[in-house]
């Protein structure tokens, strides 16, 4: 998953980014003002945008309105220092999905971020199930039937993304786009390495393959 944080308080932005990266395993991009936020949000495919309201350039509300007018459906979590009920109603009416009032607990932000990402992908439950495969997106544990499966952090990220899009064909470029942030060099052969690692670990030799390759199209996770 890849998240954009638009926040001009750099210490707060870094703290949020660190917990999203280290605890949730998400790729994170940062923008410090309205115009930069809009540019990144328009150019990249994010799974969630965390948007501060008071920003240099233009504010978070204007950014949100522009994104929604352009047809962007990415879930947006607003960070607000105001407890002005009037403006919160206006924000929700402008297409915000949720909000947090500063100061907030990072654990709460993380929990809400996960809910919004799941809902954005039509998956209300934190437990993703594909056949006898179970992925717990809260503690990142994976089981196939009775067997617990140990994955590397990147293998988990690939599997979680495929599970969120279960049944759909996911191209290599879509995986790269959603698993890496702006500063990473993207190599498509890296994805092949993770997929082959996942195939080996998900299958003990007797079980059916769950990850299928469609030539020149990508991968699909299904029974
Ligand atoms: Ca601010």
Residue-level pLDDT at 84: 66
Interval between CA 51 and ligand 1 midpoint (Å): 9
Average pLDDT over residues 31-59: 96
Task: Map out the domains of the chain as residue ranges.
Answer: 2-120, 127-221
Q: Give the percent of the chain with pLDDT over 70.
A: 95
Average pLDDT over residues 37-61: 95
Spatial neighbors of 51 by CB under 8 A, at least 6 apart, are 6, 37, 60, 63, 64, 76, 77, 78, 79, 96
For 127-221, CATH gives 1.10.10.10
The structure's pTM equals 0.91
Interval between CA 55 and ligand 1 midpoint (Å): 5
Residue 77's CB is within 10 A of a number of other CB atoms, namely 21
Interval between CA 23 and ligand 1 midpoint (Å): 24
For 2-120, CATH gives 3.40.50.2300
Interval between CA 35 and ligand 1 midpoint (Å): 14
Angle between helices 153-164 and 188-202 (to 10 degrees): 90
- C-alpha 101/C-alpha 189 separation (Å) is 42
> What does pLDDT average to over the chain?
93
Average pLDDT over residues 37-47: 96
């Amino acid at each position: 998953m890849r998240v954009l944080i638009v926040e001009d308080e750099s210490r707060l932005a870094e703290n949020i980014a660190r917990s999203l990266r280290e605890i949730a395993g998400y790729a994170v991009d940062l923008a410090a003002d309205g115009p930069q936020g809009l540019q990144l949000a328009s150019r990249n495919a994010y799974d969630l945008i965390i948007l501060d309201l008071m920003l240099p350039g233009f504010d978070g509300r204007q950014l949100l309105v522009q994104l929604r007018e352009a047809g962007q459906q990415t879930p947006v979590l607003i960070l607000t220092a105001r407890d002005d009920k009037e403006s919160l109603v206006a924000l929700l009416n402008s297409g915000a999905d949720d909000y947090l009032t500063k100061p907030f607990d990072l654990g709460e932000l993380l929990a809400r971020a996960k809910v919004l990402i799941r809902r954005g992908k039509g998956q209300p439950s934190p437990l993703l199930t594909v056949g006898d495969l179970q992925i717990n997106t809260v503690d990142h544990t994976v089981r196939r039937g009775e067997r617990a499966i140990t994955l590397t952090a990147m293998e988990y990220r690939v599997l979680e993304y495929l599970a969120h899009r279960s049944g759909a064909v996911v191209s290599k470029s879509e995986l790269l786009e959603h698993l890496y942030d702006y500063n990473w060099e993207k190599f498509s052969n890296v994805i092949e390495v993770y997929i082959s690692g996942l195939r080996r670990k998900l299958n003990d030799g007797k079980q059916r393959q769950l990850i299928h390759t469609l030539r020149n199209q990508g991968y699909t996770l299904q029974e």
